[in-house]
Structure 1
Amino acid sequence: MSLTEEILWQLPGDVLGGLRRSDRLLSSIREGKVPVPVVVRENQQELGAVDWDILICGGTLGILIGCALALQGLRVALIERGRLRGRDQEWNISRKELQVFLELSLLTDAELEKAIATEYNPARVGFDNGVEIWVENVLNIGIDPVYLLETLKQKFLAAGGNLFENTPFGQVVVHPDGVIVNNQYKAKLLIDAMGHFSPITQQARQGQKPDALCLVVGSCAQGFPENHTGDLILSFTPIQKQCQYFWEAFPARDGRTTYMFTYMDADPQHIGLETLFEEYLRLMPKYQSVELPQLTFQRALFGFFPSYRQSPLHTPWSRILPIGDSSGNQSPLSFGGFGAMVRHLHRLSQGIHEALQTDQLSASALALLQPYQPSLSVTWLFQKAMSVGVNQKIAPEQINELLSAVFRQMQQSGDMVLKPFLQDVVQFPALTQTLLKTSIAHPGIVAKVIPQVGLPALLNWMVHYGNLGIYSALFWLSQRLEPWEKYLPSISQYYWHRWIDTWKYGSGSDYLDYCRGVRM
């Protein structure tokens, strides 16, 4: 019996079966054998009167945007395939990122404090035989998803929202003047918040294999030595099984949560989740200085996150807007989910409201709500530098050496360089400064990266890097023109605001608002 079988069989429910089902899905995706669903159809006849302005499919994170829009006076309905309830495992985020819940009146100060289940400091960043950095106030807040979603659900209903639980999405027909879902629910706009494996997203991507994958396994357990610190990204091993393993750890209400994750391409020969879980358990004693028999496992965590270079996703249909993981609106280095949704919550709620007010619901108009962002696209090179091809031969410590060198330079440059990167935000000045300093201080390490990632990937990255600088300049210029926007017609204002958002988020300049605690 493997360690994975021994541990997972102790947990309630068919956890081992769930792990193996996830592995089978992963194999199907890698082999390109996932059938393409046909759930979206178009009909050129007028739909007529609709019941809602917006219908949201997928409630776990859809309730965030749904509640924000309902509080703005829009008619919103939400369908969820099961009960709308948060998971037991906390969502980690930084405190300042939670300010948006107050700004949008989603929570009161007291409710926000009650939603915080755990808080710790400091957190560690470190690499095998290299740099070790301690930072404060980064992903150090653990949010209780059960309380948060229940609170938002009640506010959504009180604001006039309609919730349909135990109602899975089946199909949608797009008409010139609205959409009808499951031949029953009529709205002007459908928001797809069903996640990475949304059938709408799958149909739009037409069976395209992911360009990259992040595999994650972990657990929450009791019995660890007392430890009130966390790990944001830590590596203590060389490359093994053509993977560089990274770790995260956070204090939790009912123990300590630890994750191990790794980046890779979609080659079918790479290891799967069960093998990765076995590696996680094998290395846990070294990582946390504890033997497995000392631990009481509360729950197991596992999954994989596909990433596509063609992201955020633009669907070919009018009146359908993917958001969150459905749109792929996160870098290939992050897990997406709650943090990515919160970062864009203010922008999306404002933009969707404007789109409805001005009737800008065509595919091209909605695409501006999920624009190309060079701040995300530049991270593809980093993902490639942190992963290993199935048949690629590189030195066992090459990734650790590179990351240690880069993070040492970011640390020396200060928090305004280091902290944004740890929160999935890349900015042109900080990136340029880090690259120059690393290249000068460690030319040999940097030179090894070029054959690892390949010249085509490097040239492609240079385009996004250049665009990052251009977007930074355009956002600065747009701020100078702000007094003139009030003279624009409402439809023109919609497009102007979307371009400002594009330059702002595409350059990582939204982080400056985050630091000041304000949003434009």
Structure 2
Amino acid sequence: MSLTEDILSQLPGDILGGLRRADAVLASLRTGSVPVPEVVKENSQPLGDVEWDVVICGGTLGILIAAALACRGIRVALLERGILRGREQEWNISRHELGVFVELGLLSEGELENAIATEYNPARVAFHEGTEVWVEDVLNIGVNPVYLLETLKQKFLAADGKLFENTPFNAAVVHPDGVIINNQFKTRLLIDAMGHFSPITQQARNGDIPDALCLVVGTCASGFPENRSGDLLLSNTSLQNQCQYFWEAFPAKDGRTTYMFTYMDANPQRLNLEALFEDYLHLMPDYQGVELNQLDIKRALFGFFPSYRQSPLQTPWNRIITAGDSSGSQSPLSFGGFGAMVRHLKRLSLGVYEALQADELSVKALSLLQPYQPNLTVTWLFQKAMSVSGNQQIHPQQINQLLSAVFMEMQKLGEPVLKPFLQDVIQFSGLTQTLFKTGLLHPIEVIKVVPQVGSIALLDWTIHYINLGIYSVLSSFSPALEPWIKNMSASQQYYWHRWIDSWKYGSGGDYL
């Protein structure tokens, strides 16, 4: 019996079976053998009267935008395949990002404080035999999903939103004047918030194999030595199984959560979740300074997160958009949709509201709600630099040495450069300063990475890097445009506001 089988068999529920089912899906995804659903069809006949302005499918993250829209007076229905309830494991985020809930009237200051289950400082970034950096107030808040989702659900219902639990999405038919879902719900607009494996998203991607994967395993357990600090990005080994393993750890309300994750391509020969979990269990005691038999493991955590170069996803249909994990609006370095959903909540809710007001619900108009964002696209090079393809041969310490050099220079440049990067926000100024100093002071580490990532990837990255600079300039001029835009029609205002949003978010200008 493997260590994974031994540990997981002691936990309530079929955790080992769940892990192996996830691996079966992963294997199908890697080989392109996942069946492509045909859940969206089109019909040229008018639908007639509709009951809803928006129907959102997927309640876990969908409730965020559902509540925001309902509070604006939009007729919203939210479909959830089970009971809308948050998971037990906290969602990590930075405190300043949570302010959007108060700004949009979704939570009071008191409710926001009640939603915070844990808070810790400082957090560490460190690499094997290399740099160690400490930061304050970055992804150090643990939000209680059970409380947050229940509170938002009550706000949604109080604003006349309608929640349909135990109502899975089955099919949608797009008509010229609306969408009918499950042959029952008639709406002007459908928002898919069903996650990475949404059937709508799968159909839109047409069976494409992911360009990259992030595999994550971990546990929440008690019995650790007292430690009120956390780790954001830490490695304590060199390459193993053609992977660089990274750690994340932080206090939780019922113990301590530790994750181990790694980036890789989608080659079917790469390791799976069960193999990664086995390595996690063997390596974690040394990482945390504790023996496994001293721990009371509360929960096992595992998952994989596909990333596609064609992201955020723009659907090929009128009147359908994606949100949250369905859209792929986070970078390939991120493995959680909550932070990305919160970051884009104000932009998306206002954009959907203006699209409905102007009746701009075509493919062309809605594509502007999930625009090209160069500050996300440039991170693909970082993902490649933090992973190794299956047939590559590099020095076992190469990734650690490169990251040590980069973070050493970011630390010297200060928090305005370091903190946004750690929160999945890339800005032109900070990136340029970091690249210049790293290249100047650590040329050997930079030269080594060129054959690792490849010349084509470097050329592609250069284009997006230039675009990041252009978007930064355009965003700086945006405030001067607003008085002029106010005199336009609702339709013209919609387009201009979406372009301004794309410059702002695409340049990381939304980071405060």
Alignment of 1:360-439 (within 5 A): 360-439=360-439
| Displacement of 1:139 | 0.5
Taking the aligned partners of 1:487 and 1:164, their CA distance within structure 2 comes to 40
- Give 3-state SS (helix, strand or coil) of 2:163's partner: strand
Q: What residue in structure 1 maps to residue 497 of structure 2? A: 497
The answer to whether residue 198 in structure 2 is matched with residue 198 in structure 1 is yes
Taking the aligned partners of 1:56 and 1:335, their CA distance within structure 2 comes to 23
The answer on whether the counterparts of 1:196 and 1:306 sit within 8 Å (CA) in structure 2 is yes
- Give 3-state SS (helix, strand or coil) of 1:249's partner: strand
Taking the aligned partners of 1:359 and 1:489, their CA distance within structure 2 comes to 12
Q: 1:185 is aligned with what amino acid?
A: F
- Give 3-state SS (helix, strand or coil) of 1:433's partner: helix
Q: 1:203 is aligned with what amino acid?
A: Q
Taking the aligned partners of 1:202 and 1:278, their CA distance within structure 2 comes to 30
The answer to whether residue 156 in structure 2 is matched with residue 156 in structure 1 is yes
Q: What residue in structure 2 maps to residue 242 of structure 1? A: 242
Taking the aligned partners of 2:71 and 2:416, their CA distance within structure 1 comes to 34
Deviations 1:248-289 (A, max 9, x none): 001000000000000000000100000000000000111000
Q: What residue in structure 2 maps to residue 97 of structure 1? A: 97
Farther-moved stretch of structure 1 (328-337 vs 360-369): 328-337
The answer on whether the counterparts of 1:234 and 1:248 sit within 8 Å (CA) in structure 2 is yes
Taking the aligned partners of 1:13 and 1:184, their CA distance within structure 2 comes to 35
Q: 1:507 is aligned with what amino acid?
A: S
The answer on whether the counterparts of 1:428 and 1:472 sit within 8 Å (CA) in structure 2 is yes
Q: 1:462 is aligned with what amino acid?
A: T
Q: 2:75 is aligned with what amino acid?
A: R
Q: What residue in structure 2 maps to residue 331 of structure 1? A: 331
Q: 1:276 is aligned with what amino acid?
A: L
Alignment of 1:26-65 (within 5 A): 26-65=26-65
| Displacement of 1:335 | 1.2
The answer to whether residue 255 in structure 2 is matched with residue 261 in structure 1 is no
Q: 2:313 is aligned with what amino acid?
A: L
Alignment of 1:175-214 (within 5 A): 175-214=175-214
| Displacement of 1:480 | 2.4
The answer on whether the counterparts of 1:374 and 1:507 sit within 8 Å (CA) in structure 2 is yes
Q: What residue in structure 2 maps to residue 66 of structure 1? A: 66
Taking the aligned partners of 1:123 and 1:147, their CA distance within structure 2 comes to 25
- Give 3-state SS (helix, strand or coil) of 2:134's partner: strand
The answer on whether the counterparts of 1:102 and 1:109 sit within 8 Å (CA) in structure 2 is yes
Q: What residue in structure 2 maps to residue 353 of structure 1? A: 353
Taking the aligned partners of 2:221 and 2:210, their CA distance within structure 1 comes to 32
Taking the aligned partners of 1:102 and 1:479, their CA distance within structure 2 comes to 24
Q: 1:165 is aligned with what amino acid?
A: E
Q: What residue in structure 2 maps to residue 22 of structure 1? A: 22
Taking the aligned partners of 1:345 and 1:302, their CA distance within structure 2 comes to 26
| Displacement of 1:382 | 0.2
- Give 3-state SS (helix, strand or coil) of 2:82's partner: coil
The answer on whether the counterparts of 1:324 and 1:336 sit within 8 Å (CA) in structure 2 is no
The answer to whether residue 181 in structure 2 is matched with residue 172 in structure 1 is no
Taking the aligned partners of 1:482 and 1:358, their CA distance within structure 2 comes to 18
Deviations 1:371-397 (A, max 9, x none): 000000000000000001111100000
**Structure 2: segments with no counterpart, 5+ residues:** none
Taking the aligned partners of 1:458 and 1:338, their CA distance within structure 2 comes to 30
Q: What residue in structure 2 maps to residue 440 of structure 1? A: 440
- Give 3-state SS (helix, strand or coil) of 1:357's partner: helix
Alignment of 1:69-80 (within 5 A): 69-80=69-80
Deviations 1:190-230 (A, max 9, x none): 00000000000000000000000000000100100000000
Q: What residue in structure 2 maps to residue 474 of structure 1? A: 474
Taking the aligned partners of 1:481 and 1:360, their CA distance within structure 2 comes to 21
Q: What residue in structure 2 maps to residue 7 of structure 1? A: 7
Q: 2:195 is aligned with what amino acid?
A: G
Q: 2:376 is aligned with what amino acid?
A: L
Q: 1:347 is aligned with what amino acid?
A: R
Taking the aligned partners of 1:136 and 1:478, their CA distance within structure 2 comes to 32
| Displacement of 1:241 | 0.2
Q: 1:224 is aligned with what amino acid?
A: F
Taking the aligned partners of 2:337 and 2:376, their CA distance within structure 1 comes to 15
Taking the aligned partners of 1:363 and 1:481, their CA distance within structure 2 comes to 25
Q: What residue in structure 2 maps to residue 518 of structure 1? A: none
Q: What residue in structure 2 maps to residue 133 of structure 1? A: 133
- Give 3-state SS (helix, strand or coil) of 2:59's partner: coil
- Give 3-state SS (helix, strand or coil) of 2:209's partner: coil
| Displacement of 1:487 | 1.5
Q: 1:454 is aligned with what amino acid?
A: G
Q: What residue in structure 2 maps to residue 298 of structure 1? A: 298
| Displacement of 1:154 | 0.8
Q: What residue in structure 2 maps to residue 517 of structure 1? A: none
The answer on whether the counterparts of 1:50 and 1:188 sit within 8 Å (CA) in structure 2 is yes
Q: 2:68 is aligned with what amino acid?
A: A
The answer on whether the counterparts of 1:402 and 1:446 sit within 8 Å (CA) in structure 2 is yes
| Displacement of 1:482 | 2.4
Q: What residue in structure 1 maps to residue 456 of structure 2? A: 456
Taking the aligned partners of 1:15 and 1:295, their CA distance within structure 2 comes to 18
The answer on whether the counterparts of 1:329 and 1:336 sit within 8 Å (CA) in structure 2 is no
Taking the aligned partners of 2:250 and 2:69, their CA distance within structure 1 comes to 32
| Displacement of 1:481 | 2.3
Taking the aligned partners of 2:178 and 2:482, their CA distance within structure 1 comes to 33
- Give 3-state SS (helix, strand or coil) of 1:38's partner: coil
- Give 3-state SS (helix, strand or coil) of 1:73's partner: coil
The answer on whether the counterparts of 1:314 and 1:367 sit within 8 Å (CA) in structure 2 is yes
Taking the aligned partners of 1:238 and 1:504, their CA distance within structure 2 comes to 38
- Give 3-state SS (helix, strand or coil) of 2:274's partner: helix
Q: What residue in structure 2 maps to residue 221 of structure 1? A: 221
Q: 1:401 is aligned with what amino acid?
A: Q
Q: 2:508 is aligned with what amino acid?
A: G
| Displacement of 1:479 | 2.1
Number of positions where the alignment pairs a residue of Structure 1 with one of Structure 2: 512
- Give 3-state SS (helix, strand or coil) of 2:486's partner: helix
After the TM superposition, which segments of 4 or more aligned residues of structure 1 sit over 4 Å from their partners? Answer: none
Taking the aligned partners of 2:184 and 2:488, their CA distance within structure 1 comes to 39
Deviations 1:161-202 (A, max 9, x none): 000000110000000000000000111000000000000000
Deviations 1:418-471 (A, max 9, x none): 000000000001000000000000000100010000000000000000000000
Taking the aligned partners of 1:23 and 1:365, their CA distance within structure 2 comes to 38
The answer on whether the counterparts of 1:68 and 1:349 sit within 8 Å (CA) in structure 2 is yes
Q: What residue in structure 2 maps to residue 486 of structure 1? A: 486
Taking the aligned partners of 2:476 and 2:120, their CA distance within structure 1 comes to 36
Q: 1:170 is aligned with what amino acid?
A: N
